[in-house]
Amino acid sequence: MNAHECPREPEVFDAIASGAWLTDRHGVLRTHAASCAICADLATVAATIAEARTQSLGSVVVPSAAATWWRAQLRIRRDAIDAVNAPIRMAQWVAAVGVAVAIVMLILRNWASVAAADPAIGWGLLLPLAVAAATISIATPLALCFVMSSD
Ligand SMILES: [Zn+2]
């Protein structure tokens, strides 16, 4: 037998794990643990762990099975809705970018004829107008996407 093992060690551990150690029913094991250094160490450590477990079980509030099932159903439903909305959200982003590009292209394409028709407008107004149109055409769909996704 190894000097670091005791044949009664499993009995001591089982008694502590089952809570029978605290009763007087295992007085024989307590007497043995008082005379055996290995079992005394085991009893000290295992009793501390068992006491901590008992204390933590008293403070734990376990939700009911119905509440747990209901939360799981909500999570499943929310995940399914997110999965369905993902392509729609992507389409909204693509549409927003497409609208922005179309507006900028429309302004750039027609600006020469507008400037030729009214020389007072000139080319100097093109850049601020293009920036304003691009900002509005990008910011509006982005704001709508943000508001709609926060539901
Ligand atoms: Zn022992």
Taking only the tens place, the pLDDT of each residue in 4-43 is 789 988 988 888 888 787 776 658 888 888 899 999 999 8
CA of 27 to the centre of ligand 1 (A): 14
**Would you say the pTM of this structure is higher than 0.75?**
no
CA of 33 to the centre of ligand 1 (A): 6
CA 113 to chain centre: 56
CA of 100 to the centre of ligand 1 (A): 81
CA of 54 to the centre of ligand 1 (A): 25
d(CA 95, CA 135): 15
Helices (H), 2-118: 9-18, 27-35, 37-59, 65-117
d(CA 26, CA 18): 12
Contact 142, 92 (CB under 8 A): no
CA of 45 to the centre of ligand 1 (A): 14
Domain ranges for the chain: 9-59, 79-148
Q: Which pair of tokens denotes residue 97? A: 């970018």
CA of 18 to the centre of ligand 1 (A): 18
Position 68 pLDDT exceeds 80:
yes
